[in-house]
Chain A
Amino acid sequence: MSYQILGNDYFRKDGIGKVTGREVYASDVTLPRMWHARVLRSPHAHARIKSIDARAAQELGAVVLTYADVPHLKYNERIVSIPPHLYRDRTVLADKARHVGEAVAAVAAPTEQLAEKALRALQVEWEILPHYTDPLAAQRADAEPIHDSYILNGQEIPVENNVAVTRVVQVGDIEEGFAQADHIFEREFVTSRIYHAQMETKSCVCDPAPDGSITVYPTTQSIHNVRQLLGEIFSIPLHKVNVKRVAIGGTFGSSIQMNSIIPICVALALKAKRPVKLVSTREEDMYDHVRYQTKLKLKIGVTREGKITAGHMQALADIGGHNIQAYALLSVLAGWTASLYNYPNLKFEGKAVYTNKTPSCALQGFGNPQATFAAESLMDEIATELDWDPIEFKLKNYVGLGGTFWGQGPSVQSIVRSDGVPQLLHDGAQKIGWRARPKPGTQTGRYRHGIGMARGFHTSGAGAPKPGEVIDYSGAFIKINEDGSVDIVHAMMDHGGGTLEAIAKIVAEELGVPIERVGISPADTLTTVYDVVTHATRGVYAGGGAAHKAAVKVKQQIFDYASRILGLQADSLMIEPDYELMQGVIYCPNFPERRITLGALAKQLQVNSWGTLAAVESLRQVNCPPAYVTYFIDLTVDTETGQVTTNRAAIGSDCGTVVNPAMAIGQLEGGLSKGMGYALVEDNQWDAQTGQLTSKGFWIDGKTPAISEAPFVENIITHFANTYEPSGPFGAKGIGEAATNPCAAAYANALYNALDIRFTELPITAEKILSALAAQDERASRASDYLENKVVAVMQAAE
């Protein structure tokens, strides 16, 4: 299919602002009379606040807030799940610190310096409680409760043994399934607790007005969810809560939920009766969110012919001090597993446990990098053990065209209608030189070379035919201006991947208008209709789908009104961009002289008092198509240092119609960087004795991938499947989160290929590689000792 606008690269609409330093992020907002805020964070992992003496801070002229001063409503910060599934366990400020860095008080003062002084003047009396950095210790019968209870669907539910939530999902009967298997494989995989490391720290500015209304500029992925929550927490009617869209400096899932600092900033502004700005320090930001750490025990049964008969996953998630979305996490861990391969019988048993560490939330892939690391590592092992080429084995068993895909746990399922996996695996194998890869265990030198492959996907949105447990709704308002230009009013956040750019292209394509004349309006919650949140790789597919629906409606209005002016049947008309006039022209191919520009039509409607070319539409997609991705990694291991060098990577994407080619490539290249970090270096450790985060920083304690670790440009090979998603706008589906999901398993499989060692714990650091090599050497020397002894014994016997 060929398009006028889709699939072409243009200068991004947000580009000029970004390359000139003029783009506005939350921390860039400055208002008259504005004060600055600082947050008092717990130095203890688990401690009750006995008292806070704020007198000295107040004498400095600061406004001070403690638990006593904020609403005590328990809320859940991520209102993406439907209300009955919201686990509410937090308040604006805590009455008890449940992890180091938990916010327990806050101050605002005319300058940041004075605010910091006031903060240090606060006197807190703590009652230190036993803390747990290990979910097994937290579950012991005598363990101190981290939460006594939480609120679910209006009910107060007691917490037993610090278990936040459990979930079991079953398909068929695994006992029967494993009985049919000729081979059973089982491994336990451990994944790490990485930090999002988005470049912008969480920030917020709140401007209260004398009529009780507030205007808020937050770091967020959803302006409407922030508005709804603030309205609920502070009992302000929603028409008096305006949340403005500002640019976001990276997020990767860290702002799906309303950030903990947003209501603190609002409470301070309401008390100070003036604008307040709150910018997190980097260290504070690291206390706010990490990726869910999991232990995944995976067991798979296969027949002699290489057909899967059953799968069993037992998952333990260490969620930290608050339950942001643990129920949804267990749901998707089951869902991604069920969607990776066809298991006629599958059982998932998940448990999420509170610990006294930074709360966990989604991080690019939401449970998918974890589940895919386990499944793709084990499937590689099974294929190798059964003497299959992993590509052939996976093609035989994967969920593809016509299969059922679980886009967001058991309640969000739809049938796969576009599938580029065979093409991607074929192309990727060719590009990387798959057939020439070494045989494991054949290399002996210092430097060993390996090639590994893994595949996966992410969902495109969380829509499905059934209502489901999560909200997936977007709306768009489109209007035609008097010069033929177009305004798109859409509440969706663009994290930088080009979501709004794609939406502009989809609208331009449908309306036949040059892309240069389609504008993305500034957005706030007063003037836009609801958009749930930019997450679940739903931007282009669901957000773009809603805009497309509105554009189709506007196009019909254009033809209906133009038919009255041109004296022709509406159905005979067409519209196309005219690049000299820089607007769309409506015409009839049979009567080329009867034509009118879009701008002239819009103006004539005003003159005639006929109406306005505008439409508002909302959409929940009824499908959740998988955005497939394949990874081939070619690496070298230095067996003396344990260092891994990525020589080449071939990353294939099936995102349906490619709307923004340069930006789609950018998603894959970025996915490799973050995926490599997850595979090899990134981690956050907590000291079990003190409960302190030991890795506070980008480089010195923790490692964030830099340019030095990236392969050279020509060695990052990106390629796309030639597919069309029937349910997507112009055949498009998602890409973003898919871009990292299989990466860690591809590295683990490549390391196996190089070293003949299976790594099952992330990150696979140089230290772990060296100790695994040492163990391998020891086994080998023991084996050769044994052989030698045996030979001696045989010879002695012969004598």
Chain B
Amino acid sequence: MDKKTIHLTLNGEAREWRVYPNELLLNTLREQEFLTGTKYGCGIGECGACTVHVNGAPRLACLTLALACEGADILTIEGLARDGKLDAVQEAFLGQSAFQCGFCTSDMIMMTRALLNENPQPTETQVRDYLRGNLCRCTGYASIVRAALDAAEMERQETA
């Protein structure tokens, strides 16, 4: 199998990747870009640990072929903070101690960011619905819900 060249935007920067046709986005991010904040949890789309944004929508990097990202705009957890300033979601997770081991934290933050992009003022029911495919074994999810609602409130106050 030969590698193919693709062009894309990664965390705001232009990139040229040489990837195998069967190479997964998760592996390219982790092994070629050394962006290890995106995690391998199960490899079959059950846990959500590998969630990144592709063209603004949350995607499971363990089920996405790198080759399919030609021309895409990809955002990983490492690209979320801009100009040395944390995203409101990151700040809310810090403020609520909404993580323990931290292994699902990247995906929980990326999902929450995607939710708030779609729906800036979600209810608790909407947060639960949006995060229902992302597993956390430590927190019992309550602090994550609090952080998501907090982040929405922080952004509401910023724009008010």
Complex contact A21–B37 (CB within 8 A):
yes
* Chain B interface size, under 10 / 10 to 19 / 20 to 34 / 35 or more: 35 or more
Do B41 and A23 touch across chains, with their CB atoms under 8 A apart?
A: no
Is A628 positioned at the interface, with any CB of B under 8 Å from its CB? no
Task: Report if A222 contacts B (CB, 8 A).
Answer: no
Closest residue on chain A to residue B38 by CB atoms: A21
**Smallest Cβ distance from A17 to chain B, in angstroms?**
8
Neighbouring B residues of A716 by C-beta, 8 Å: 140, 142
Shortest CB-to-CB span from A282 to chain B, Å, is 4
Q: Is the CB of B90 within 8 A of A713?
A: no
Q: Does B132 contact A (CB under 8 A)?
A: yes
Question: B63-71, B74-82, B152-160: which lies at the A interface?
Answer: B74-82
- Which of B36, B41, B43 contacts A21 (CB under 8 A)? B36
Query: Contact between B43 and A662 (Cβ–Cβ < 8 Å)?
Result: no
- Of the candidates B40, B77, B106, the one having the most CB atoms from chain A within 10 angstroms of its own CB is B40
A670 is contacted by which of B78, B102, B139 (Cβ under 8 Å)?
B139
Give, as a whole number of angstroms, the nearest-CB distance from B138 to chain A: 5
Closest B-chain residue to A14, C-beta based?
B102
With contacts A19-B86, A20-B90, A199-B41 known, is A496 near B100, CB below 8 A? yes
The interface residues of chain A, by DSSP majority, are classed as loop
Q: Assess whether A697 is in contact with B44, with CB atoms less than 8 Å apart.
A: yes
Residues of A contacting B7 in the complex (Cβ-Cβ under 8 angstroms):
none
CB of A25 within 8 A of CB of B103, answer yes
State in angstroms the CA–CA spacing of A678 and B17 once bound together.
45
Docked-complex contact A666 and B100, CB < 8 angstroms: yes
The minimal Cβ–Cβ distance linking B22 to chain A, given in whole angstroms, is: 9
Determine the chain A residues whose CB is within 8 A of the CB of B90 once the complex forms.
19-20
User: In the complex, what residues of B have CB within 8 A of residue A712's CB?
Assistant: 124, 128
Q: Report the bound CA distance from A247 to B104 in whole Å.
A: 13
Chain B residues numbered 1-43 whose CB sits less than 8 Å from any CB in chain A: 30-31, 34-43
What residues of chain B lie closer than 8 Å to A700, measured between beta carbons?
46
A19 touches B101 (CB 8 A): no
CB–CB B124/A713 < 8 A: yes
A483-524 toward B: CB 8 Å interface, digit per residue (1/0)? 000000000000111100000000000000000000000000
Residues on A with beta carbons closer than 8 Å to the beta carbon of B101:
198-200, 247-251, 495-496
**Is the CB–CB distance between A23 and B46 below 8 Å?**
no
Interface residues of B in 71-126 (CB under 8 A from A): 76-78, 80-81, 86, 90-91, 93-97, 99-106, 109, 124
Tell me the smallest distance from the CB of A12 to a CB of chain B, in Å: 6
Determine the residue in chain B with the shortest Cβ distance to A663.
Answer: B97
Judged by a CB distance under 8 angstroms, whether B54 is at the interface is: no
Least Cβ distance of B34 to chain A in Å?
7
CB distance from A327 to the nearest CB of B (A): 28
Chain A residues 273 to 306 lying within 8 A of chain B, measured CB to CB, are 279, 281-282
Instruction: Name the contact of A706 in the complex, choosing from B34, B103, B132, B138 (C-beta under 8 A).
Output: B132
Instruction: Judge whether B94 and A19 touch: CB under 8 Å.
Output: yes
A19 and B105 contact, CB distance less than 8 A:
yes
Further contacts, 9 of them, CB under 8 A, given A21-B76, A281-B43: A20-B78, A22-B37, A25-B103, A28-B36, A199-B47, A251-B101, A496-B138, A669-B141, A697-B44
Interface residues of A (CB under 8 A from B): 9, 11-12, 14-25, 27-28, 30, 196-201, 247-252, 279, 281-282, 495-498, 660, 662-663, 665-666, 669-674, 697-700, 704, 706-708, 710, 712-713, 716
